[in-house]
Chains A and B, each alone.
Chain A
Amino acid sequence: MRKRVLMNGNDAIGEGAIRAGCDAYFGYPITPQNELTSYMANHMQAHGRVFIQAESEVAAVNMVFGAAVTGRRAMTSSSSPGISLKQEGLSYLAAAELPSVIVNVQRGGPGLGNIAPSQSDYFQATKGGGHGDYHLIVLAPYTVQEMHDFTINAFALADRYRNPVMLLTDGRLGQMMEPLTLYSGLPHKIPPKPWALTGARGRKPNHIRSLLLEEGALEQRNLHLQAKYKTIMNELVGYDEYLTHDATVLVVAYGSSARIARGAVDQARAKGVKAGLLRPITLWPFPRARIRQLARKVHGILVVEMSAGQMIEDVQLSAGDRIPIAFEGRMGGGIPEESAVVRAMQRLAKSSPRSARK
């Protein structure tokens, strides 16, 4: 039965994890994701699942490691400074190919920053973050409904690719309330995990390791990981488009910024700018090919982020330098205003050499 409820984004993630069959959750208090940890405290034990408030974010991510080692579905959540603390653990999870879900409800940085929403952890999330050559799969919800749905999907993707999956969201989406339809299906089927540590009963012992000292062994592990990442890049790219069919100005934004950008696209159209929005749903893998394609027909691209401009680098890599790529954003917990985004689109529409030729 489809149930419609009113929830904040953090709770929606928690309920999504529970409905996805999350076996174990480990958290540590940090604003603005505290609702999620409380939600798990209130509901995991009632479902006979594991909940621990860890002594630190570092301990929490390593408890996830332990839970994932057994083949169980495990999750942790935090916000920017806490996610920095988890980076070592994420590198180990990626190295050992342990399925796991990590939620980053971003806040303003750098340093202790503030508790206002931000998107300044994009580099950290999509480029590795910890040491070594690795990638997380990074999903970017932009409604409370997606906070819920993407969490469920995150567990499935983690198992499918044996890879940690990060839900990259922010304090605004975490704290705002919206109606959503709760997932009513069954948790996805867990693929066989013959590698899991369950006790070596009737089989050879299993080892979970990332220390590979034998000559060439670590290179082989890296080649294997890179091959997997290539598969993920081929199979998983996700994005959403709005009015891009005839757009001459393309806006690229994700998460909270995409909500603002969508409103701005409508306003810009009312003012005669043919604007369209591409919203990456997977930040890694990034929708490079589609942006490259759109870059051939639009006159300019505007990137909107709640940061100094991080995703814009991936947009530049995708689009090349054929057309102008502008940026509109705010830092430190500031939220771009719709009107500012509209003005940026108007400027871009006027200045673009391609539009001038017409």
Chain B
Amino acid sequence: MSPSRKPSKTSRRSVYHRPVSLVNKPTHFCPGCGHGTAHKLIAEVLDSLKIREKTIGVAPVGCAVMAYYYLNCDISEAAHGRTPAVATGIKRCLPDRIVFSYQGDGDLAAIGMAETIHAANRGENITVIFVNNSVYGMTGGQMAPTTLSGQKTVTSPCGRDARTMGSPIRVCELLNTLDAPWHIERVALDSPAGIRKTRKALLTAFKGQMEGKGYSLIEILSPCPIHMRLSPMEAVRFVKEGMIPAFPLGVFRMGGKPAV
């Protein structure tokens, strides 16, 4: 990343700076949570594309509802799951602005599935950032549509049973059946390499939106140590060894045609 702030006189060589698009403030997220990293990556991308001042974000209901505390751009809340509908209203009224929604798995794939599919199917020129950590975080670790088979949560105490609770929903694959989306990609915050890939995916998605390419969805597999009932390091391993096999990484769609 190019430095977005001038190096102070005392430092000899600056290799990293807090993005201007990120507010200098400790987050409320739990130790080891992926949201902080995801926020930072978005901020870096807004900086590098120089779009902070024309970007409007839509925050979900859930852990990331307070995104406006951390991201230094215009942000609206939305009712639970209605994030893509609110983003649609914003983008259609201000087509020259950059509009993104930031949603968790409950918001996007449970209560907001209809809005998710239809915004994608209309090919809205927005970027949907989907943070999949396999549980409801803010409400206390309930089963999400992306909870793995057998995974224990407070509402699947014996483990998710596919026979009565369904199997984890693979959102990228689902949306890839539609004609309109331009870019669908799944990445993971499971390693430094994964974080770099995530940044690149976000950059591609936002750039595409700037060029009017259309709908993009970046699914980010992300750790939630508290509700995965794991230590931060173990949670990262769970993302790598538990979630990635269930949610294969990759570019599902690039340039308006199915990539796989």
Contacts and interface: CB of A to CB of B under 8 A. Distances in A.
B68 A207 contact: yes
Q: Which of B56, B75, B89 neighbours the largest number of chain A CB atoms within 10 Å of its CB?
A: B89
A72 B73 contact: no
Nearest to A58: B82
B85 interface: yes
29 contacts: A24-B92, A24-B93, A26-B89, A50-B93, A52-B88, A54-B118, A55-B115, A56-B114, A59-B114, A65-B76, A65-B85, A65-B86, A66-B78, A66-B86, A66-B88, A67-B89, A70-B56, A74-B89, A89-B79, A92-B79, A197-B56, A198-B94, A199-B53, A200-B74, A205-B71, A206-B74, A207-B68, A208-B75, A208-B77
Contacts of A62: 78-79, 82, 85-86, 89, 115
A209 interface: yes
B97 interface: yes
A96 B65 CA distance: 15
B186 interface: no
Contacts of B149: none
Nearest to B91: A66
Contact of A67 (B56, B72, B92, B122): B92
Contacts of A54: 85, 118
A23 B53 CA distance: 23
Contacts of B53: 199-202
B72 A207 contact: no
Given A24-B89, A198-B97, A200-B53, A209 B74 contact: no
Sort A-B residue pairs by CB-CB distance and give the 4 closest, nearest first.
Answer: A66-B89, A62-B85, A62-B82, A55-B118
Contact of B77 (A23, A56, A198, A209): A209
A69 B89 contact: yes
Contact of A59 (B52, B76, B115): B115
A18 to B, nearest CB: 16
B115 A69 contact: no
Contact of A200 (B73, B86, B118): B73
A67 B93 contact: yes
Interface in A205-237: 205-211
A88 B90 contact: no
A88 B92 contact: no
Interface residues of B, number: 36
A62 B119 CA distance: 12
A63 B75 contact: no
Nearest to A93: B79
A56 B116 CA distance: 12
A207 B89 contact: no
A192 to B, nearest CB: 17
Contacts of B77: 92, 96, 207-211
Q: Which of A60, A66, A202 neighbours the largest number of chain B CB atoms within 10 Å of its CB?
A: A66
A202 B54 CA distance: 10
Interface string A290-330: 00000000000000000000000000000000000000000
B142 to A, nearest CB: 19
A357 B117 CA distance: 70
Contact of A209 (B68, B72, B122): B68
Q: Which of B66, B79, B92, B118 neighbours the largest number of chain A CB atoms within 10 Å of its CB?
A: B92
Nearest to A50: B92
Contact of A70 (B93, B98, B115, B118): B93
A88 B89 contact: no
Interface of A: 23-24, 26, 50, 52, 54-56, 58-60, 62-70, 72, 74, 88-89, 92, 96, 197-202, 205-211
Contacts of B76: 65-66, 69, 197, 207-209
B204 interface: no
B55 interface: yes
A205 B68 contact: yes
Nearest to B68: A207
Given A63-B85, A92-B79, A200-B52, 7 more contacts: A55-B118, A59-B118, A62-B79, A66-B93, A68-B89, A198-B94, A199-B94
Contacts of A23: 93
Contacts of B89: 24, 26, 62-70, 74
Contacts of B73: 199-200, 205
A69 B52 contact: no
A211 B79 CA distance: 10
B87 interface: yes
A72 B122 CA distance: 21
Contacts of A208: 75-77
Interface in B93-136: 93-94, 97-98, 114-115, 117-118, 122
Contacts of A205: 68, 71-75
A8 B117 CA distance: 35
Given A50-B92, A66-B89, A197-B76, A59 B68 contact: no
Contacts of B54: 199, 201
B85 A59 contact: yes
Contacts of A58: 82, 85, 114-115
A189 B245 CA distance: 57
B65 A211 contact: yes
Contact of A197 (B65, B74, B118): B74
Nearest to A59: B85
B76 to A, nearest CB: 4
Contacts of A198: 56, 74, 94, 97
